[in-house]
Amino acid sequence: MRCCAGTSDSRYVVLGGIQAPVYVYDWDTGQKVREFIGHSDTTWGAAVSRSGKLLLTCGSDGEVLLRDFVTGDLVRKHEFEAKQVWSVAFSPDDTKIVASCGQGPSDGESHQIRIWDVATGQELQRLTGHTRDVRWVTFSPDGRTLASAGFDGTIRLWDLARGKEISSINAHNNYAERVFFLPGGKRIASCGAFPPNDPAYGGLRVWDVTSGQQVRTWRGFDARGLIGLAVSPDGTYALASSREKTVRLWKFAF
């Protein structure tokens, strides 16, 4: 598997991967309840709207697919010139979707973040600034700010009202893998770095959104090569996975 996403009511989990369908499982029973066509080769990103009505996926075919979560019927398709589309997300109010990509056929078509209106399909914004693949994108709790993590090692914050970059944090040297807002939107948590034993940039880190200053960091053996991250709804815990095929639960204490 290459991606997973849970529904807001914690009833279902969505899984996607290499040359495989997109599966939906029931959390309580562990039973597969739905199966949709996956992206050609690999499905890299998945998200479910808070309403539970829409499913968003992306993959290595340059496509972003918006589907009915129950039937799997295609609502709309968006396409990047870059074939590697890494991540997708819904805004907190389900009115917008965002996706990020890797290298395209030209500089102008590479390392982009695009935002669309869910109801109309209209492209609202196209954000550029990362110099390598944009691995992850996520909305702030109020939907006004976007955070992105890139293989240029930076975490970037974007003002969506102005369509401008607010700040760029050199967070994880060569690779920033994930970034999430903590509740309240005043802090973000991120993970990354490669090689995985990089003592300066590896590990799990928390940043102040306004100042861009580091608030807390976890390094060492347990924090090497982190490539996956999820934050609990109350911001108390973080779940991180690593290239060592290990999943660890972390407790935030500020």
pLDDT number for residue 200: 59
Please state which of the four CATH numbers 2.120.10.30, 2.30.29.30, 2.130.10.10, 2.60.120.10 is assigned to the domain occupying 129-254.
Answer: 2.130.10.10
Contact 223, 203 (CB under 8 A): yes
Domain map of the chain by residue range?
Answer: 129-254
Nearest Cα to Cα of residue 172 among 151, 147, 146: 151
Mean pLDDT of 35-62: 97
- pTM of the entire predicted model: 0.95
pLDDT number for residue 242: 85
Q: Strand (E) positions, 19-108?
A: 22-26, 32-36, 43-48, 54-59, 63-68, 74-79, 85-90, 96-101
Contact 86, 58 (CB under 8 A): yes
Q: What is the pLDDT of residues 175-228, one digit of tens each?
A: 999 999 999 999 999 998 776 666 656 689 999 999 999 999 887 666 677 889
Q: How far is 178 from 159, CA to CA, in rounded Å?
A: 19
Q: How far is 76 from 87, CA to CA, in rounded Å?
A: 17
Mean pLDDT of 97-104: 98
